[in-house]
Amino acid sequence: MDDNATVANVRALLLEREPRLQPVMDRSVSALNRRYVSPETLLHEGDELVFIPPTGGGC
């Protein structure tokens, strides 16, 4: 990724490489360094980015 990469850029690259993830990624939220972030958030070297899919269950 380049110096101006965003969460949205990583999401797009991931979906380009693994298109079958589209249904899950459409409903996932993003967290950067353990905080929820928007797709426009800039990334920096050493950041930890995760995509959190929806979960359900329990009573």
d(CA 48, CA 50): 7
The answer to whether residue 2 is domain-embedded is no
Q: How many domains does the chain have?
A: 1
The predicted structure's pLDDT at residue 1: 77
The answer to whether residue 59 is domain-embedded is no
The answer to whether residue 41 is domain-embedded is yes
The answer to whether residue 1 is domain-embedded is no
The answer to whether residue 57 is domain-embedded is no
The predicted structure's pLDDT at residue 58: 65
The predicted structure's pLDDT at residue 55: 84
Average pLDDT score over residue span 51-58: 83
Look up the domain containing 18 and give its range: 7-52
pLDDT digit string (tens) for 2-52?
Answer: 889 999 999 999 999 999 999 999 999 999 999 999 999 999 999 999 999
Listing DSSP states for 21-53 in one string gives GHHHHTT-EEEETTEEE-TTPBP-TT--EEEE-
